[in-house]
Structure 1
Amino acid sequence: MRIIWLAFWIRTQLVMCGIDKPSIKIHVSNSFIKEGETMHLDCTTRSNPKATSISWCKDNKKLRLTTSKSSLRLTMSKVSRYDSGKYRCSAQNEIGNTSSEISIVISYPPVVNVCILKLYEDSTFREIQCIPLGEPDSYNYFPWEHRSRFNEHIRYLGATDDGKLQIPVVNVSNRYQNSGFYICNVSNGIPDNHGNVFQQGRTYVEFADKPSIKIHVSNSFIKEGETMHLDCTTRSNPKATSISWYQDNKKLRLTTSKSSLRLTMSKVSRYDSGKYRCSAQNEIGNTSSEISIVISYPPVVNVCILKLYEDSTFREIQCIPLGEPDSYNYFPWEHRSRFNEHIRYLGATDNGKLQIPVVNVSNRYQNSGFYICNVSNGIPDNHGNVFQQGRTYVEFAGPPVFAANTKRFQKVTTESSIKLTVNVYSSSKITCHDITEVDGTPLPKEIGVTTRPVLIKETFHDTNVTLNGTEIVFVLNGLNAVEFHSFNITMCNNYGRSSFVINSKHLAKPSEEKALSSQRIIIIVLLIIVLVLVTGIGVYVRYTKRRHRKKMITAISIQTAERTVDETPHYAEIIEEDMILTLPQEPEILVAENSNTTGLSEEHSSSSSNTDNNASEDLNDGYEKPYSTLVSNNGHEVEHDYHKTKQNWIYENSTTCNHAIFDGFPLD
């Protein structure tokens, strides 16, 4: 406030001392300036101290400037109507700046236009008007002049105060007499460059028939890709000078030599729909007629999301087709994965809306994917497909999900480190990955973590689909991998976190596993060989026993038969083949006394001993060493004992004869 009062006091003191900013006075050389004349504008200033600069401006455009004088003249030669406007003179000294403004009006003769106001359908009457534009805008109208097409004077018609003329009505047979140029004469007192005070405007009026138009379309129902013909036929007197086809004010075709014009459009598209106008013109005027063309085409289908709940568990989407005609049939929706794998079909609705079924929070990712709408309006596309599709991708957000191929029990092959691998898929970027032991055992500070994108196979709505996932590998060094460990792995994203428990199990090294495998193979092979040998020996022994049994039965049968016929004892000969049998250390000696020799022979009994064997060997009686077989049946086992024997043939009721002679040989 004090500053304002100080400025006001200084200003008052300067005025009292005769010190002030410049005062301006403007002078115009002529108060009435006509087009083509020269105009002078003088700007004079008075000030103490003296003005330092003076300038002329028009419409903020600087025209002239001086810095050494107290006045400035602006001279403009041959001014025109466009020089009219406001001119401003500005002066400045050490005290301040002052400006003054003046409006300049340049007088000029009128420019005259003639327009037709009314045209009756029978073309027998016109009302035309003379429209001048000049300065000053006060006009005097003079009689109209009627001239022929070849500029021949026909007549004068009365003048009016407003410049309007009603052309007199004549008989239809004489209407052509009113044709010609109608010239308006008007003045505002300002002559033109040639000194003419009267200015003229003219228009040509033709009393005749203007063209009439008829439009024909080749086909009332036009589909996209077909060819369309539009025919425009005219009738007029005089003959039409031009016929044109327009679409949305854009000229398509023009002819000047015929009374009809055909517009042919091949392979029309949906963008060719619209209004088509045929215009025909002759010397009298212009006539136009319009027709609307609708091109039928299959719908372009868009899918938009209508509702989205905060918990991201529900969507309502809608199929929005745009085609011609706009009557649509909706078919079942299809749900596909990000990799375009089919998941399921969902029911169709009359309005094209789909409410995606609600699933558990843990399965919300299963609803993610492309939702494809199938719709038809009966018009096939260029490939013959009647059903058109629109799709949108719906993402159901949630915390990370551990893939099904992540193993809860993972094998560890080293003793000093543990390597764990998990696969997860997430709707947003993984923001954290933590690992702890379930029992709270502290983990080493240095834990190696590597991540890489992978493709994961999961089952969504009973269908195997491919997902974009992340493989995360934890390497824990410094732990005793031989011991059992249980780890809790936690993954985070923008929507929450998930945990998964993994147990580690130590396995031997591959080299050790290979060694153990080789040993096992060797042991198995040896067992197989032993089993085969034992089986073979058993089969061979059994076969041999059966063979010897058959031979013994045969030999005994033959011996018994001979003994019965001849009643003479003899040795049962047994042929021993292919095998040496071990004799028992204490052979059993069988002695038959006072018994029937025949009976003994029938029972196949004999006595033998080592002494007898030696004695028999000393005998030089020409007999071979006989063998006797003792067979005993114990349960299911059959035992065969083979002994070298000497048979003593003793007759029943006989006594021992010492020193007996047998066939001339003494018996000791």
Structure 2
Amino acid sequence: MHDEEKYIGAQHIVYFEKGESVVLVCNVSPNSWCTWDGPGVNGSEFRTYSDRTAIDQRLPNAHRLEIIGNISLGEYNLHISNVSSEDEGSYRCSVADRVAKETNVFLQMKVPPSNITVNGENRGVLYGQEGHQLDLNCSVESGIPEESIVWYNSSLLLGSGGPRTFIWSIVPKRYDHERTFTCIVNSSVLRVSLNKSIMLDIKYKPYTTISVKPTKLSRIEGTNGMICCEVQSNPPVGFTWLFKNNEKFEKGNVINNCFVFSSFNRNDSGNYTCLAENNIGRSSSSTELKILYPARVTVNYTLRHDYIDFTCNAAGEPNNYTYLPWVHESEFHKQIRLLNGTQSSTLHVQRTNIISKQYEDSGYYICCVSNGIPDINGKKVQKGMASVKFEGPPTFVLGNMKVQYGAYGNVARVWVQIYSNAELTSSTIRRSDGQNNITSYTEETRAIVYVVFHGVKVMVLGSRLMFDIHIKNDDDFTNYTVKVCNKKGCNNITLELRATKSNTKPMSVINSSWQILGSLFGGGLFISIFWNVYCFLKRTKNSGIHTIIPLEVQYDEIGDINFTSTNMQVLQNNSQESISSVNLPSLERTSNITSSLEKSSSSDSSEHSQSMSLLNEDGYEHPYQAIGLGNIEMHPYTTIWSNLYQNTTIFPNQIITNYDKEQNPWLIIYKK
């Protein structure tokens, strides 16, 4: 059963497929008394199906009938489910009000069309003759509802008709031979349309074409070729003739309807006709053979103040010419520009009004002409040319290096490339700051260079100028101006000369500079150290302080003591204070500190012995000897400067208050 339901109102015939549901719509006045009548048993007259909403249960299909819709709105729709051929027939919706109303619907099951045929046969070929009418007849067993029939020629729609049959008439031409025509049957019942194709077999008389081979107009004196008769016909032709000036032509060999000429000459000119015939008819084709030759082209020109006028002269057969755009080429035949002339073979070119660029108008001006005839090389376009030369100032070409390199003490060879179509009168180089004399070039050679002609990079024959510059100092690495002149004027270019990366400055100068700087720095450092040591020793001697380095700390382990001028000044001030007064309480505190240090030194005797063995293994010839702590006496005038010797340890055995000048000073050790 299909989910789709068909709602029927004003329609008179309703088509359905077996198994789907159908809804027959009946709209009446709200709350009207409505009845549905349907076909009776075995197609008899109407029989009541419903009285208002009640279905007559005596009907064999009562279980598939139902009144649906909103009765209060006047909707009395008859719903029939799982429709079959038994439900076919007329249905009527009636209302018995003041005015009787009824709606009639005929319910009919769909039937697909079948058995398509074309022209009553199924061989797939239909025969005809050119110019005679041919009917394309497509027939089918009709279905319900009625189908439509269309004819196609490939993808081209010819026409449509039906049902049952559709005839399309044509008058075939020769190009309809072996074409395929297709009949297509469409129906709403069909999921895939029916179709049948047929091919036409059309008989027609010969169609002839006469041509010259191997090329269409290969009629050049001295060349070989052939005149061919090409024939199309159905059925094939029985025979073919070639006529020259209405006389049968029998010259040469005949290969596949081609008459071969070993060498064309002027006597072969004439009117040739090809004739072919079959059982349908005959036809002919003619052409005129004329011996041809390509155009010979010459060019003349006239120089004017602002323009150059060119004239192109051509002579050939045929004498109808096609003038292509003129070509302006360089001396090496590089295309510079295309110029549009006139169909009367003239060209009007405006001259360049900038003096320094007038050379751009120089070169070859080429006229290109064709009369359709190739030369012996096979080229159909013939050329004639004229050479024009304009002199102007020298031009610096593309590829000049604005930055060049040299080395100290050597000769730098600076070069430039120029283009000049007049002889050079002078070539010089000088520093841009004007500090050197003008130097003439040392060498000139011819070179292939590139310049710009009317916006196009063009190869020309130019010159390379070489200049020698002696590099003596840094000032020689600067900008240089090269000036080149001929009889039409001068031009210049600025170059930059730089030192090579591998030789930016002479090594002797660099080594000398470093030696001088190193000597100055080393001498100054030595003097500074010597002076500081001298001053320190002198102040130490004046202040009565004697520094002795113990065995545990060799001289190479002494930390950095910064004898700056500030520290030396503090040392001097403290020395003066110590001389003026002796602070006895501080001496007592110092005695207590040293006593504790003496006790700790005895407990560390093992470490002291180990340090002694290490020092003896250093390789020194006379290592320091150990000093007994009991033999050290404190000088009475000795004091401690904590701000200078924060990392020192003082080893007096005891504070001796004896002022004997023979007493030994303290032992002061600086610790890292």
Indicate the structure with greater strand content. 1
TM-score when scaled to structure 2?
0.33
Bigger Rg over Cα: 1
